[in-house]
């Protein structure tokens, strides 16, 4: 379970809250290898195969069409001015190259969108082993006429090798280390790795290659079976394709790792394991949840009923419309003093305590943990009533809760509760179908002032 979005019933004009994001694609890996053997050589060599850096720039409030503001097939640079690249070589002073200009030490920038930077020099050296490349511009929003400064950067590093040094380099085929809303074809995002031996790329290696990824708990998990290499080119024999279903499952980022076990005849020590890592970022997982309220948000004399409908957006496009892809909406009502209340509805959990609870207890056992949209989940707040003292209290389910009928709490209970005391949910859960994505709030629920917080949960 992961919380995808949170919100509150407040009227917002999202067009006024423009947000820009972006990244840079490069045609070569972010690490360049320099071998001192044989007079010195670079891999990859930016002179013989130029490194092309292409910025990508997105307006998050836009729809699917033309969302890349600098792509010729998207926004094509409309509204963009003062486009330039700033290059910082280790401790040297920064060098700026404007659109359409060139620099003898680095390369040139195209005059029009997408303002690609062509690096045609092996500018990094042993004394200057890093290069930071930053693209910046000013974007003027057509709808508001507001000017926004935008910048995004990428850093390259130089690795030295010599003697019988072995180095493993991992990269994405098209230099694309970013995904957007799962909009990546199955064959588009592919990770490859190369083995450098004595500073030279080895295209005939013997050993095994194991791809892994870091799970949410921080542990490395095998991503498929190990690939046996026998005089093979690892760049073609051990490709890791990031399938569309995997792309959809990545939230925020995922780090991949290659572990190469060197059994080559040229290896100093057979069985030595070399590794490299790369992170794939998801820039567009941020969601926005919006509300419409039938009859407005004002009650008179505590009378009336308001029906609230929810809509979930991702980059300006409404999602959660397809059957089978619905999210779970979890709501909490707060009164004017900030006290937590609860909804009385058909979606509330109906269960009871199995056995009594002593004051200070940090867990409880319930008759049923519920199922579907009524299931108790980590973060839920439960109303225990009545206590032995005649007082009800609200407790929160600890994040460690997974399943079963034993519920861990984030803090000990304040009051003792008798066996079979009823439990109600302080969080109303809207169902998993679009027609059930509504709640009703009555005048009895609101005294002078109240607010409803919402969490959208991915199951």
Residue 442 is encoded by which pair of tokens?
């009555």
Fold of 15-160: Immunoglobulin-like (2.60.40)
Q: What is the pTM of this model?
A: 0.53
Res 61: pLDDT: 47
What SS3 class is residue 175?
coil
Res 449: pLDDT: 56
Fold of 163-284: Immunoglobulin-like (2.60.40)
Per residue in 363-387, pLDDT (tens digit) is 888 888 877 777 788 888 888 877 6
d(CA 354, CA 364): 8
Residue 146 is encoded by which pair of tokens?
């507001």
Nearest to 192 by CA among 248, 125, 260, 246: 260
Res 62: pLDDT: 44
Q: How far is CA 395 from the centre of its chain?
A: 30
Res 16: pLDDT: 45
- Environment class of residue 215 by beta-carbon count within 10 Å: exposed (0-12), middle (13-18) or buried (19+)? exposed
- Helix boundaries (H) for 149-243: 234-237
In sequence order, the 6+-apart residues with CB closer than 8 A to the CB of 226 are 208, 209, 210
Token pair 């720039």 in the structure block, residue: 57
Per residue in 191-245, pLDDT (tens digit) is 999 988 876 788 999 999 999 988 766 678 899 899 999 999 999 999 998 876 6
- Measured in degrees and rounded to the nearest 5, phi and psi for residue 236 equal -115, -25
Residue 151 is encoded by which pair of tokens?
């910048």
Question: Helices (H) and strands (E) in the chain — how many of each?
Answer: 2, 36
Q: Where in the chain is the domain with CATH 2.60.40.1940?
A: 163-284
Tens place of pLDDT per residue across the chain (459 aa): 456 655 554 333 334 446 777 888 888 888 888 877 656 788 889 999 999 999 988 876 444 434 678 888 778 888 899 999 999 998 889 999 999 999 999 999 999 999 999 999 999 988 888 899 999 999 987 766 778 888 888 888 887 766 567 788 888 887 777 776 555 554 568 899 998 887 678 899 999 999 998 876 667 889 989 999 999 999 999 999 887 667 767 766 788 889 999 998 887 788 888 888 888 877 665 677 877 777 776 666 656 777 888 878 766 667 777 666 677 787 777 766 666 665 555 556 667 777 788 889 998 888 888 777 777 888 888 888 776 667 778 888 887 776 678 888 988 988 888 877 777 777 777 776 777 777 777 766 665 556 677 777 765
Res 14: pLDDT: 37
Beta strands 107-109 and 41-43, pairing class: unpaired
Res 206: pLDDT: 94
Asked if 131 and 87 touch (Cβ cutoff 8 Å), the reply is yes
């Amino acid at each position: 379970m992961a919380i995808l979005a949170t919100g509150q019933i407040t009227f917002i004009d999202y067009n006024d809250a423009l947000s820009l994001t972006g990244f840079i694609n490069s045609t070569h890996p972010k690490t360049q290898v320099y071998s001192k053997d044989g007079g010195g050589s670079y891999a990859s060599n930016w002179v013989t195969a130029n490194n092309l850096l292409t910025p990508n720039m997105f307006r998050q409030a836009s729809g699917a069409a033309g969302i890349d503001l600098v792509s010729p097939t998207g926004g094509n640079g409309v509204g963009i001015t003062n486009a330039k690249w700033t290059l910082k070589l280790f401790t040297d002073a920064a060098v700026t190259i404007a659109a359409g200009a060139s620099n003898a030490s680095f390369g040139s920038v195209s005059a029009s969108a997408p303002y690609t930077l062509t690096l045609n020099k092996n500018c990094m050296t042993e004394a200057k082993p890093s290069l930071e490349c930053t693209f910046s511009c000013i974007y003027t929003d057509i709808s508001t006429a507001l000017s926004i400064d935008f910048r995004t950067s990428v850093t390259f590093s130089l690795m030295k090798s010599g003697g019988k040094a072995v180095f493993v380099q991992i990269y994405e085929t098209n230099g694309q280390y970013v995904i957007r809303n799962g909009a990546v074809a199955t064959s588009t995002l592919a990770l490859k790795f190369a083995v450098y031996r004595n500073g030279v790329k080895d295209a005939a290696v013997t050993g095994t290659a194991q791809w892994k990824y870091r799970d949410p708990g921080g542990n490395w998990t095998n991503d498929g079976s190990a690939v046996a290499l026998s005089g093979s080119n690892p760049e073609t024999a051990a490709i890791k394709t990031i399938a569309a279903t995997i792309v959809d499952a990545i939230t925020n980022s995922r780090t991949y790792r290659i572990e190469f076990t060197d059994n080559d005849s040229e290896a100093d020590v057979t069985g030595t394991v070399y590794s490299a890592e790369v992170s794939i970022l998801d820039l567009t997982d941020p969601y926005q949840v919006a509300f419409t309220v039938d009859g407005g948000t004002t009650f008179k004399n505590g009378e009336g009923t308001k029906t609230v409908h929810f809509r979930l957006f991702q980059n300006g496009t409404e999602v959660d419309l397809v059957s089978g892809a619905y999210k779970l909406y979890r709501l909490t009502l707060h009164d004017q003093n900030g006290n937590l209340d609860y909804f009385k509805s058909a979606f509330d959990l109906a269960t009871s305590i199995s056995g009594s609870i002593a004051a200070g207890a940090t867990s409880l056992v319930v008759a049923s943990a519920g199922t579907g949209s009524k299931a108790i989940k980590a973060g839920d707040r439960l109303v225990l009533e009545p206590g032995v003292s005649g007082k009800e209290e609200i407790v929160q389910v600890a994040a460690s809760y997974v399943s079963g009928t034993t519920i861990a709490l984030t803090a000990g209970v304040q009051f003792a509760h008798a066996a079979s005391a009823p439990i109600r949910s302080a969080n109303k859960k809207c169902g998993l179908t679009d027609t059930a994505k509504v709640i009703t709030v009555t005048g009895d629920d609101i005294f002078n002032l109240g607010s409803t917080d919402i969490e959208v949960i991915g199951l």
